[in-house]
Chain A
């Protein structure tokens, strides 16, 4: 039996075992669907009596109550052995294998420790087991990782709120691919991280919110801007660069990002205007001058002006985002999980972008959404030498479609995601199943397929087919 078959069989056994264990019961007659009810059946009123016993007990506000803990074990891997034709006569083999085998614990803590004060923190620890790519990258030994995601103190008084610490700032309305959702950095480490919400990284900031009578202001200052991390060695996104991709060398420089947003709600609609001074999340790498050593990481600052709006019409919600960026790098190659590559063109240009789409509730159980992102550089030919061209010319962007169907009162959710670029060079399809076994246990399974042509940066992943499964215990 091949390793991929063992992998698939292991996941199936795991699922069956968990579900059968959760469903085990004693001495209860399960009724047929066509059973006819009459007044003879009594009802055990004490069935839920414990809830009232608890309510009658004196309430305590113990600080440990603020913890939420989630433990998860994840497997994922390539199940389609194939080759990618990179050049005539040269095919890159892509073999079926386990890519991730990891145990994670996420801890979240929230405590309103005094009137108007709040402490919130979250972080995770992960252990990478045998056959995980991080296990292999660690010399075939178990590797561990610890990370603080959120850590902030909040003080709210009158119409003001101040939050200091590691946190997230999210702008824009479009789900999944907003041109305005660029304040925080992202890390798409694996293909089973599709949603930007799961890839977003927090940063150290001070956020001031002002809640006015009819509108709100939200402003932030970031005194330690961070950048998208380079791909993790061994991960599906990693490829061996000519030079080591290092982090940005601050060399004592004080970097600052600032921004503000004004937001107002009307009946059926919300609008927001925003402005910010930012650094591009993606670093630009240049070859070392000496020709040896680490690549040189270059940052780029720019100005952002934005507008966002939504409009609810019955079961339809329309979303719209508009972004004008001044002095972005024209040659930035920005694909999730990969790093910018050196390019002979290094021009600052203005860029206008929009993302728009809709969310529609087909009925109470089914939901579909569409988001389209399109951007273009202004005066794109200006400054180019003869024969030079930009990596992104014309209108470039992506689209994203999501569908979900909730069954068994939400215990079983089937979802699918289709994602591609506007040039129709690539398509990523995901089919997911989430099953909530009980209040603590949940399982998730995903199938992810990628197709691309030679013009897409996803060429290396063409015909990839991945299977992933995660079991989670929350308390």
Chain B
């Protein structure tokens, strides 16, 4: 099962790496155009990326009027390399290696994510205990299953999904202020077909007008009860791209939260095609050598 969760998580991993960039100063954008800008920026950052991130998950409570962890957080750290392929680079090949916790260290996942809905995504997992590379049946990202958890966290594939804007009714509710920044408050309501695949009846997004970053997202269920809330913080310019380096999602039903911290993110890396193959999973000497070369490009 863990394998399946890992695969679903990884499929969306690259999308997750690309949280919102580019400065835009147009004042006359329609709600759809604002969302299109987000999509364009995500695609621009999806190609040839090397990142290191940390996922922390805990049950939360309140102390001194602030949300905080009620237990020691579970922490996973991982390193990921991705590259775009195909028409407009909409297909993605990626490799992710878990660095922590110790019990999961060395678990590797290779994923081919196809934009074409008719092609099933492909994933291979390497577990040292298994002693071999194993194909994982992950299915299409568009199948009618509930969204998968991202590496056992409260982030799901749906929370990180991109595209499919045609399947939403997009409406500007107001222009307001969030976290001392001017934002657009945009409501997205899925159409009937999309709603069947979604946990949410609507989402409300607070998008930084200058940096095109989601500072806050509220997610509602079919009874219009807020069930999740996402907060973006530590907004920084990384490699010429504005990014919320710390993103926290709170599950208001289970009272658990997860934080995704982008410790490093580098784009424009020249990733050799050979690296995005099964060899990277099984040949640790090759993998470490190639990773050193990728890191050397950053330096």
What is A's interface to B at a CB cutoff of 8 Å?
22-23, 25, 27-31, 33, 35, 37, 40-45, 47-48, 51-52, 54-55, 68-70, 108, 110, 112, 115-118, 120, 154-156, 161, 168-170, 197-198, 200, 209, 211, 216, 265, 267-268, 270, 310, 312-317, 359-361, 363-367, 404-406, 409-411, 413, 436, 438-440, 442, 472, 474-475
Contact B68 A52 (CB under 8 A): no
Contact B148 A364 (CB under 8 A): yes
Q: Which of A41, A316, A363, A364 interacts with B137 by CB under 8 Å?
A: A316
> How distant is B152 from chain A, measured CB to nearest CB, in Å?
4
Q: CB of B168 within 8 A of chain A? A: no
Residues of A within 8 A of B3 (CB): 367
> How distant is A9 from chain B, measured CB to nearest CB, in Å?
27
Q: Describe B's contact surface by its main secondary structure.
A: mixed
Contact B122 A409 (CB under 8 A): no
Q: CB of B115 within 8 A of chain A? A: no
Contact B234 A315 (CB under 8 A): no
Residues of B within 8 A of A438 (CB): 72, 74
Name B226-258 residues within 8 Å CB distance of A: 226, 229, 231, 233-234, 245-246, 248, 252-253, 255-256
Residues of B within 8 A of A68 (CB): 102-103, 105-106
Contact A363 B285 (CB under 8 A): no
Contact A268 B120 (CB under 8 A): yes
Contact A315 B131 (CB under 8 A): no
Please measure, in the bound complex, the distance between the C-alpha atom of A314 and the C-alpha atom of B122, giving whole angstroms.
10
Please measure, in the bound complex, the distance between the C-alpha atom of A198 and the C-alpha atom of B229, giving whole angstroms.
42
Stretch at the interface among B23-31, B37-45, B276-284: B276-284
Contact B145 A315 (CB under 8 A): yes
Contact A42 B66 (CB under 8 A): yes
Q: CB of B129 within 8 A of chain A? A: yes
Contact A209 B283 (CB under 8 A): yes
Q: Which of B8, B54, B106, B245 interacts with A364 by CB under 8 Å?
A: B8
Nearest CB in chain A to that of B52: its residue: A55
Most B CB contacts (10 A, CB to CB) among A28, A29, A197 go to A28
Please measure, in the bound complex, the distance between the C-alpha atom of A57 and the C-alpha atom of B289, giving whole angstroms.
23
Q: CB of B259 within 8 A of chain A? A: yes
Interface contacts beyond A315-B137, A410-B149: sample of 5 additional A-B pairs, CB < 8 Å, sorted by A: A31-B60, A48-B246, A314-B120, A409-B57, A409-B256
Q: CB of B135 within 8 A of chain A? A: yes
Residues of A within 8 A of B60 (CB): 31
Q: CB of B80 within 8 A of chain A? A: no
Please measure, in the bound complex, the distance between the C-alpha atom of A316 and the C-alpha atom of B73, giving whole angstroms.
34
Known contacts A29-B62, A43-B248; decide if A317 and B137 are in contact (CB<8 Å): yes
Please measure, in the bound complex, the distance between the C-alpha atom of A154 and the C-alpha atom of B289, giving whole angstroms.
12
Offer 23 A-B interface pairs, CB within 8 angstroms, sorted by A: A28-B70, A42-B65, A45-B233, A47-B259, A48-B54, A48-B246, A55-B261, A110-B284, A117-B285, A118-B288, A197-B130, A211-B283, A313-B120, A313-B137, A315-B139, A315-B145, A364-B148, A405-B1, A406-B2, A410-B5, A436-B74, A438-B72, A475-B102
Please measure, in the bound complex, the distance between the C-alpha atom of A69 and the C-alpha atom of B57, giving whole angstroms.
23
Please measure, in the bound complex, the distance between the C-alpha atom of A428 and the C-alpha atom of B250, giving whole angstroms.
42
Contact B245 A52 (CB under 8 A): yes
Contact B145 A363 (CB under 8 A): yes
Contact B129 A43 (CB under 8 A): no
Please measure, in the bound complex, the distance between the C-alpha atom of A216 and the C-alpha atom of B283, giving whole angstroms.
12
Known contacts A28-B63, A44-B68; decide if A439 and B101 are in contact (CB<8 Å): yes
> How distant is B219 from chain A, measured CB to nearest CB, in Å?
12
Please measure, in the bound complex, the distance between the C-alpha atom of A270 and the C-alpha atom of B123, giving whole angstroms.
12
> How distant is A309 from chain B, measured CB to nearest CB, in Å?
10
Known contacts A31-B61, A41-B66, A43-B231; decide if A406 and B122 are in contact (CB<8 Å): no
Nearest CB in chain A to that of B264: its residue: A55
Q: CB of B267 within 8 A of chain A? A: no
Contact A116 B152 (CB under 8 A): no
> How distant is A219 from chain B, measured CB to nearest CB, in Å?
14
Contact A112 B284 (CB under 8 A): yes
Residues of A within 8 A of B256 (CB): 409
Residues of B within 8 A of A363 (CB): 145-146
Known contacts A42-B65, A211-B279, A361-B4; decide if A48 and B140 are in contact (CB<8 Å): no
Nearest CB in chain B to that of A154: its residue: B285
Please measure, in the bound complex, the distance between the C-alpha atom of A359 and the C-alpha atom of B229, giving whole angstroms.
35
Residues of A within 8 A of B102 (CB): 68-70, 439-440, 474-475
Please measure, in the bound complex, the distance between the C-alpha atom of A70 and the C-alpha atom of B105, giving whole angstroms.
12
**CB-based closest 10 A-B pairs:** A112-B288, A317-B137, A118-B285, A410-B152, A55-B263, A28-B61, A156-B285, A170-B131, A439-B101, A474-B103
Please measure, in the bound complex, the distance between the C-alpha atom of A43 and the C-alpha atom of B231, giving whole angstroms.
9
Residues of B within 8 A of A314 (CB): 120, 137, 139-140, 143
Residues of A within 8 A of B131 (CB): 168-170, 197, 200
Known contacts A48-B261, A367-B1; decide if A312 and B137 are in contact (CB<8 Å): yes
Residues of A within 8 A of B138 (CB): 312, 315, 361
> How distant is A67 from chain B, measured CB to nearest CB, in Å?
9
> How distant is A321 from chain B, measured CB to nearest CB, in Å?
13
Q: CB of B113 within 8 A of chain A? A: no
Nearest CB in chain A to that of B279: its residue: A211
Residues of A within 8 A of B248 (CB): 43, 48
Contact A409 B154 (CB under 8 A): yes
Please measure, in the bound complex, the distance between the C-alpha atom of A372 and the C-alpha atom of B57, giving whole angstroms.
39
Q: CB of B132 within 8 A of chain A? A: yes
Contact A33 B255 (CB under 8 A): yes
> How distant is B137 from chain A, measured CB to nearest CB, in Å?
4
Contact A161 B286 (CB under 8 A): yes
> How distant is A295 from chain B, measured CB to nearest CB, in Å?
32
Please measure, in the bound complex, the distance between the C-alpha atom of A48 and the C-alpha atom of B282, giving whole angstroms.
33
Q: CB of B166 within 8 A of chain A? A: no
Q: CB of B67 within 8 A of chain A? A: yes
Q: Which of B62, B132, B246, B286 interacts with A31 by CB under 8 Å?
A: B62
Nearest CB in chain A to that of B258: its residue: A409
> How distant is B4 from chain A, measured CB to nearest CB, in Å?
5
